[in-house]
Amino acid sequence: MRTVSTLFAGAAFAAASLGVAAPASAATICFAFQDLETEFWVAGHTAITRTLEEAGHTVIERNANEDANRQLEQVRDCIAQGVDGIIIIPQDGESAVTIVNEAQDNDVPIAVFNRPPSDLSKGIIVVADNASIASQAVDFLAQEAIANREGDGKLTPMIIVGDLGDPNAVGRKDGFYAALENYPDDFNTPIEVASEWDAATALANLEAAVTANPEIDLLFTSSDFLFPTIRSVFEPRGMWVPRGEAGHVVMGGLDGDATACQLLKEGFIDSTGVQDLYFEAEAALNAILAAIEAGEAQPNEVIEDPGFALTSANLGEREMDMWGCVLLSEGFLDQ
Amino acid sequence: MTDSGPLPATAEREEPALAPTVGQRAKRIFLSDYFVLYLSLAYFLVLMPFLPTLSNPANLANILSNMWPLLVVAIGQTFVLTIAGIDLSQGSVVGFTSVVGAMLLAATASPDVLSNAPIWGLIIDETGGPLAGVPGGIALAIAAMIAAGGLIGAANGLAIAHFRMPPFMVTLVTMIVISAFAIFLTQSENIRNLPEAYIQLGKGDIVSVYFGEQDESRIPRREIYSFITYPMIIAVTVAIIAHIALSRTVFGRQVFAIGTNRRAAEISGVPVKRVIVLVFTISAVCATIGALLYSTRLEAGRPTLGDGNFLLDVIGATVIGGTSLFGGKGKIIWTVFGVFFFVLLSNTLNLMNLSSFHIDMVKGAVIVAAALLDVLRTRLIRGGI
């Protein structure tokens, strides 16, 4: 609750900065999300709901609590209530396809925020180019790890993968491998740790992986929300060390949340791939409102967020382009 | 006997006393088989003025659509609760058997998603599952699902009946093991690209209705409401078979006998162990049919289907219907009404725009209230109040 209220400040910033088109008439929008477990989802939820409400629209919120069947039933309820449009953060890519079809069959325009359906041909899909963003972040990590290498041996990389039923997780994994392919002589086969987007699962699997492979030179987590979990595994083993000190593991993630921003500033991590949350929220809102205004029931469009990598090298220049750093500057982590 | 005069007068005086008092009527309604139905209708009527969408045909179609899969699973739980047991493994059976059906039937599969799964190359590959496109493949896949679910249920029943292990412990362990196994099989991935005819079992309409005149050549889809659907036919068929089995057969009487007093049932010659095994098998088969309906409406086999609050919904709906947690008391019609009330409750809480946390809290409170009502009804029937 504190997190949500704190993020209102960020949302106010977002609402002020989101260039959402003024509607001819107020619309009723159903916003169905799968959960609000991470900073990214909370910030995205807040930006969308506050912006819509401040623009005079009615928002019907539905939290599926990570249950795909419940989300389908909630969206059907929204359709029965006669909403003008739907924005969803789906549980996974497969259920997103079913829900988009359900909405379009009932002539209700639908936008999918950040977690894309397995089939991108239907609905307004706002998605980050996860492979490209991950590749940029990991490329920087690879260069850092090579620069810090002691001796001639190959380095050992590790990736914490997300739930591979989520296309975002697949894109991030692909980007990781694509970046390391540029350095074939420098890295061993990466060690994969499954997280299923669940901190408890990640903790158990990471502990096992680090116990079996204590000599890790590079770690990439598919989501920044797992940094506290990584810290709890690394710190007792003396692996949670800032840049420039002996034992530092070159580390990065993807999302661009406030925790990642702080860790980057403190030197514990070296890069993070940034999704432009406010751009994505604005794009989703503008597209769905435009479709409602035009009376278009089945709008199909893919809007890509190119994103970027915030690294220890460009931190000074691009810090405030990252939504997590904006929240951090507003005292988010001090609350 | 000497004074015959007062007799008619006495009869006249007694006549009003024969008419049930308000309290007796309330008690009769309270103890009626239809109590939960009356409660549901009253709840519906009270809320209708405040929630105009509630009586909207699209919303009524949603309530029915959400009811059928839950009803099938709850019917299985009714048998188990009636023998004073509990089946916590139903959710995991739903997830596991949905994966079994999907991996046999999927038309194609992506190596990007499934290549790390142990079933990749063994059962499913880029060309799909072994029964994809095979004539009668869907029936075979469903038979395989039911066999897999039935085996799990039989294993539960054997452990409970022959080793006298507590149902809570046995089915809890089964839940953990089968859930983990389902996730292991696909490495937590969902299996998509199911055949259209299979998906129709969970989503297909047989009769749809449209209210109003047809002014345009094309009626908007959102104004056409599903009325008779394949899930409805499947669920109603299961309910009728279960009703006959529980109320009109020797097996049904044996179920009640075990639930009332297992020891007495054994002494009376009831084949207690066989009935317990059969009851847990029925429960798992019902969960499997539920898996068929859930996975086809979501168009994917999902190892995590049946996780989360699913058991709360199943057991809650069954208990709300009136099936006793203490055993010996249960009817399929009660479960039908319980599921209807539970789905109606969820629907109205959604329409009130409550958060999922509040909805779960209200559901939990209603289940506790239902359990208390069960105690009260039992005491009333036994004359304790």
The answer to whether residue A55 neighbours chain B at the CB level (below 8 Å) is: no
User: Out of B14-18, B278-282, B355-359, which region has the weakest mean confidence (pLDDT)?
Assistant: B14-18
8 Å CB contact of A81 and B53 = yes
- What is the rounded average pLDDT of the residues B350-378? 83
Contact list in A for residue B298 (CB cut-off 8 A) is: 68-69, 72, 94-95, 98
Neighbours of A9 (CB within 10 A): 16
Contact list in A for residue B297 (CB cut-off 8 A) is: 69, 72, 98
Asked if B123 and B129 touch (Cβ cutoff 8 Å), the reply is: yes
Helix/strand/coil for A273: strand
CA-nearest residue of chain B to A61? B353
8 Å CB contact of A165 and B297 = no
Is A7's pLDDT higher than 60? no
8 Å CB contact of A63 and B357 = yes
User: Out of A39-43, A136-140, B191-195, B292-296, which region has the weakest mean confidence (pLDDT)?
Assistant: A39-43
The answer to whether residue A58 neighbours chain B at the CB level (below 8 Å) is: no
CA-nearest residue of chain A to B113? A164
What's the alpha-carbon Rg for chain A, to the nearest Å? 20
> Can you read off the two tokens belonging to residue A304?
């890509």
Is A223's pLDDT higher than 80? yes
8 Å CB contact of B58 and A79 = yes
pLDDT tens-digit series, residues B237-259: 999 999 999 999 999 999 999 99
8 Å CB contact of B356 and A95 = no
In chain A, list all ranges with CATH 3.40.50.2300. 2-127+276-305, 130-274+313-320+327-334
Least Cα distance to B227 among B248, B211, B244 occurs for B211
What would the DSSP string read from start to end of A76-135?
HHHHHTT-SEEEEE-SSHHHHHHHHHHHHHTT--EEEESS--S-TTSSEEEEE-HHHHHH
B191 - beta bridge partners? Answer: B301
CA distance B168 to chain A (A): 24
Q: What percent of chain A has pLDDT over 70?
A: 92
Is A296's pLDDT higher than 90? yes
pLDDT, chain B, mean: 89
CA distance A274 to chain B (A): 24
Q: In the structure, what pLDDT confidence band is assigned to residue A203 with cuts at 50, 70 and 90?
A: very high
Return the number of CB contacts < 8 Å for A and B: 94
Is A1's pLDDT higher than 70? no
Residue with tokens 């609590």: A65
Q: Strand B224-229 to strand B205-210: parallel, antiparallel, or no bridges (unpaired)?
A: antiparallel
Q: Strand A250-255 to strand A218-221: parallel, antiparallel, or no bridges (unpaired)?
A: parallel
Superfamily holding A2-127+276-305? Response regulator (3.40.50.2300)
8 Å CB contact of B298 and A95 = yes
Least Cα distance to A67 among B312, B240, B58, B261 occurs for B312
Is B218's pLDDT higher than 60? yes
Question: Hey, what domains does chain B have and what are their CATH numbers?
Answer: 35-209+223-382 (1.10.3470)
Q: What's residue B91's pLDDT?
A: 96
pTM for the model: 0.81
The answer to whether residue A102 neighbours chain B at the CB level (below 8 Å) is: no
- What is the rounded average pLDDT of the residues B164-169? 96
Helix/strand/coil for B71: helix
- What is the rounded average pLDDT of the residues B296-305? 92
8 Å CB contact of A165 and B188 = yes
Tell me B124's DSSP state: B
pLDDT tens-digit series, residues B3-43: 444 444 444 455 555 677 888 888 888 888 888 899 899 99
List Cβ neighbours of A91 (8 Å cut-off, separation of 6 or more): A34, A64, A66, A67, A68, A71
8 Å CB contact of A68 and B360 = no
- Would you say domain A130-274+313-320+327-334 falls under CATH 3.40.50.2300? yes
Amino acid at A84: D
